[in-house]
Chain A
Amino acid sequence: MSASVASTFTRVRRQGRWAARAGGLLAAATLIVASSASPALAGAAPATTLIVGSSFIIRSIDPGRTVETTSNMINHATYDSLVTFDGEDLKTPRPSLATDWKVSEDGKTYTFKLRPNVKFSGGNLLTSADFKWSFERVKNLKSNPAFYMDPVQEIQTPDPLTLVLKLNAPNPALLAILSSPSLGAVDSKLVAQKGGVSGPEAKSSDKAESFLNSQSAGTGAYILSSYVPEQEVVLVRNPNHWRPAPAVDRIVIRNITEPATQKLQVQRGDIDIATALGQDQIASLRNVPNVSTRSSLAATTFYVLMNNNPEVGQAFSNPKVQEAVRYALDYDGILTIAGAGASRLAGVIPTGFPGALDPKTAVKTDREKSKALLKEAGLSEVKGQITYGSDQVIWGVQMAVLAQKIQADLAAVGIQISLNGLPRATALQSYRDAKNQVGVWSWAADFPDGTNFFVYIPGRTVGKRAGWPEDASPAAKELAELARKAESDVDDARRAALMQRIDKRIVEVGPYAPLFQPAVPVAFRSSLKGVTFHSVWGLDFYTISK
């Protein structure tokens, strides 16, 4: 073949190739653009659908087995409890399935009158027997919410619409505890059929978890329609609900792990509400049209934990070092990381609860004092390790970023700590085993009462994790006594004053450095109405309308 013909051939072929490729790209691009521009092609969604972005923390949706935030949000919609709190309120319990209640003089007997003619989603009628069954199941499953039932000694059902709870000792926090979605009324007949057991053998013989993970058995405004682990939860309206129908018929809760993606999606309108944004993402959403944000304070304490046990804490078990740490931290900088709307914490009880201290009285950064304290302790250089969940983002605050800030702050006074970021699972275990030398963690209220934060008391949950048992010192013993007194005191004013005293003392002598309480980072399309975010159970879907 002659050269010129060959080259013409090649040129034509090459052009042809280019044309083909360009055509292909054009076709593909048109396809994509055309599809996104024709919403009419989208499958017809039934009536009103609410799409919620969340970052799933779900091990189980079975109310008898869970206290996680996401599960709480789901169960708050699908189950009703005896009492509840409106909107974001943490103070005044309101009637839910209990229309009225009386407390005995000694504070040890609670009598609840139940709402008549309430049907479960499956059709059965609600009676006090259902509550008794549900409560006993929670207690006997010995799973995460079991401790809620610790104050209760006996449950009586004198008639189908009356429930009597007898307590071991007066517990003013009981109503707050009873509002928990985990203590909602479960359809005992239906769940028993599906393998649910409430008796003492429940721990080993109850088989209802997989049923309850795929379908709810409550009286709530919504029914759990499907749950794909790590992906999404779908709720549909409960036609048998005892209140007037909610505005939204279908709710899709999607697991979107990336805060940046959630931000874009709510900006675009791809999702209606974003509940797992980072504090930094929320900041940039405040001025975006069509998007509203909420900034109520979360009932959660972020704190630095040091180990009082000399074997684990080493230098950090020294009270002078602990105080030095409290003075070394740059709280202004830390609050910047906590995001706008965050509040400094002077004690371990968050603002909004009786017993909380005024943030203005909180420890202020004083690096000189910190260095002086270290010298007093006879230590020129302190080394340690801070443990935290490397992938944990709590209320939009990345624990990894917080840990790095703390590391830099402590380095400024001569305390060298290395970062021991572990995946959430491993980090949690180290924390629970009281093996953290230093750690940065948070405690979220399980129920809306300040006494929930007594976990910091020596010998209680967090106290144990900090290696601070009751007999550590006379001061510790005194604190433990005070806590017991406060828990059973029925006089509100006296209790509040006592709790404040306890809170102050915890910070003075305890191995903690309370940091802040963040604002809940929730953003939603401005066209939505009735969006509230409660610290314990998140969104209340019943009140939302599109």
Chain B
Amino acid sequence: MNLLGYIARRLLLLVPMLVGITLFSFLISHAVPADPVTANLGEQAAADPEVVAAFRRAWGLDRPLHEQYLIYLWNLARGDFGTSISTKQPVALDLRQRFPATVEVAIVAMTISLIVGVPLGILSAVKRDSLIDQITRVLSLVGVSMPVFWLGLVALVVFYARLGWAPSPGRLSAGIIPPTFVTGFLLIDSLREWRMDAAMDALQHLALPAVVLSSYTLGVITRITRGSLLETLGEDYVRTARAKGVPNLTVIVRHAARNGLIPVVTIVGLSFGRLLSGAVVTESVFAWPGLGLYAFRSATSLDFPAIMGVGIVIASIYILVNLVVDIAYGLLDPRIRVG
């Protein structure tokens, strides 16, 4: 009952949070000094005041601010995010087309971080102060201190320009015909059609951006895992188990890791936000057509509906991921359930 109550409470809080986010997005994107109207018409047309007026009317830019917000909210509730001034498509469509790209690379990046980071962290904790430990600590430190965009560029120069191992930036090679857009996730869509060539190509293109994007979270997860495990390894019940003659492996896996990994779960949620942030620069470097690049382009071209839309979607993804993480945390840590 308590767990269900906990989940229910979190879900209820979601609604005002989302409303708050829309308000925040709206305020921010309207605190803009420049007028996007004339920026989106050609050289000669912008000189015609009639054309400009028609444009403003079409985009509701001539109504007072609070009215614009309410209209926006009403449309949002019906799934209409407005129309992007740059792409002329509904923002919802823009977001739908781009969101799988970002989520794909973020998930792969997070997976890499976990698959490599957790074992490394455990190893580092178990073999404390050994060479492995020292190297791991330095490498994870490098991971959290390195500018992601710089790593991306260096990786491109080395693996693409010099060595030719990685394919050119983008999701698919130009010669490959993309699979039909069903989910937008290239791996899923190509496998659906049994297009192994497209799937392999997509995977190849995912490799470098995902590895680059994972650098920060990899560092963090390694450090957290290590620290957390060091703590639990020093706990009484672990020493007791060891004293009782329980094999070391069992001690680590069954006793220390289970408790030690709980903080890691929380970190996964928090660092997903960092992944989404890092996606902006990474997508910029790798010409990856995802939400990050869209956010950057719409912010610099003052595309109000797009700025609001992408801000809301990214924030929502982050909230949902953290909700899932909190629930997982609740499942793992019995203290939460009771408390």
Contact = CB atoms under 8 A, between A and B. Distances in A.
Q: Is the A/B pair a real complex?
A: yes
B42 interface: yes
Contact of A429 (B35, B119, B170): B35
Given A13-B249, A33-B165, A143-B45, A42 B173 contact: yes
B174 A271 contact: yes
B175 A264 contact: no
B86 A59 contact: yes
A43 interface: yes
B51 interface: yes
Interface residues of A, number: 64
B92 to A, nearest CB: 14
A288 interface: no
Contact of B51 (A60, A142, A228, A461): A142
Nearest to A142: B51
Interface in A1-22: 1, 6, 9-10, 13-14, 17, 21
A368 interface: no
B47 A204 contact: no
A208 interface: no
B87 A270 contact: no
A147 B289 contact: no
Contacts of A43: 175-177, 195, 197-198
Contacts of A424: 39, 300-301
Contacts of B47: 432, 461, 464
Contacts of A433: 38
Contacts of A17: 119, 123
Interface in B85-138: 86-89, 94, 97, 116, 119, 123, 126-127, 132
Contacts of B245: 1
A252 B34 CA distance: 35
B101 to A, nearest CB: 10
A68 interface: yes
Given A35-B201, A144-B43, A210-B88, A231 B289 contact: yes
B41 interface: yes
A270 B170 CA distance: 12
A261 interface: yes
Interface string B270-299: 000000000000000001010000000100
Say what secondary structure dominates the interface of chain A: helix
A433 B175 CA distance: 44
Given A9-B248, A14-B123, A142 B200 contact: no
A226 to B, nearest CB: 10
B302 interface: yes
Interface in B245-259: 245, 247-249
Interface in B226-245: 245
B329 to A, nearest CB: 28
Which residue, B47, B126, B161, B174, has most C-beta atoms of chain A within 10 A? B174
Interface string A210-244: 10010000000000000011110000000000000
Contacts of B316: none
A473 B108 CA distance: 66
Given A9-B248, A264-B161, A424-B301, A432 B50 contact: no
A359 interface: no
Contacts of B302: 423, 425-426
A6 B249 CA distance: 10
A142 B50 contact: yes
A17 B38 CA distance: 61
Contact of B87 (A146, A147, A230): A230
B260 interface: no
B42 A66 contact: yes
A425 B177 contact: no
Interface string B62-94: 000000000000000000000000111100001
A143 B51 contact: yes
B168 interface: yes
Contact of B168 (A68, A261, A461): A261
Contacts of B160: 264
Interface in A177-224: 203-204, 209-210, 213
Shortest 4 CB-CB distances between A and B: which pairs? A144-B42, A425-B39, A423-B300, A229-B87
Given A143-B42, A229-B94, 6 more contacts: A17-B123, A32-B165, A66-B42, A204-B54, A256-B287, A425-B301
Interface of B: 34-36, 38-48, 50-51, 54, 86-89, 94, 97, 116, 119, 123, 126-127, 132, 156, 160-161, 164-170, 173-177, 195-198, 200-201, 203-204, 207, 245, 247-249, 287, 289, 297, 300-302
